[in-house]
Amino acid sequence: MDAQENRQQTTGEPREPGVDEVVRQEVRQEVRRLSDPASLSLYEQQRKVDENESLLEELSRIEAELRETLRLDVERQREDEFLRQQENKLMWQNLSHLSLSQRVAKPWVSSYFRKFPLHIYCLPVQAAAPRQRGRRGGANKRK
């Protein structure tokens, strides 16, 4: 402060207000404003508007954070699902996931056609035994 006072005395400049003086002036102006009833109601309205704006900003910030966390969760779930699918594909390709009690059977093919011995079909038609009619015989017909 001595340097400021010396400079003020030597140069004739007005003394710069300190931080305390600035705060005091702002408080005095606020008190003057609040003493008038019209300005008081205007001040209250402005304070409510400012408060609502700050609440809206906070809500928008919270919503943005929630959207981001949801996006990250969905992304993590997709990544987990992709990894699970890849692991399942590898397991089915290698068949290494079978336990010792389970075995992989050798592949076999069944056919619709039976393999009959060829010599049966090579006999002449006259040599084949005549068919017997069995139950459909003429005597036991139902009426």
Categorize the per-residue pLDDT at 74 as very low, low, confident or very high, splitting at 50, 70 and 90.
Answer: very high
pLDDT digits (tens, 9 = 90+) for 81-98: 999 999 888 877 776 656
Is residue 116 domain-resident? no
Average pLDDT over the chain reads 75
Is residue 72 domain-resident? yes
Is residue 91 domain-resident? yes
What domain count does the chain have? 1
Categorize the per-residue pLDDT at 58 as very low, low, confident or very high, splitting at 50, 70 and 90.
Answer: very high
Is residue 127 domain-resident? no
Q: What is the DSSP string of 6-54?
A: HHHHHH-PPPPP-HHHHHHHHHHHHHHHHHSHHHHHHHHHHHHHHHHHH
Is residue 104 domain-resident? no
* Comparison of pLDDT for 1 and 87, the residue scoring more: 87
Q: Give dist(CA 73, CA 122) in Å, integer.
A: 75
Give the residue numbers spanning the domain of 93: 19-97
Mean pLDDT of 57-62: 96
Is residue 30 domain-resident? yes
Categorize the per-residue pLDDT at 30 as very low, low, confident or very high, splitting at 50, 70 and 90.
Answer: confident
Is residue 87 domain-resident? yes
Is residue 56 domain-resident? yes
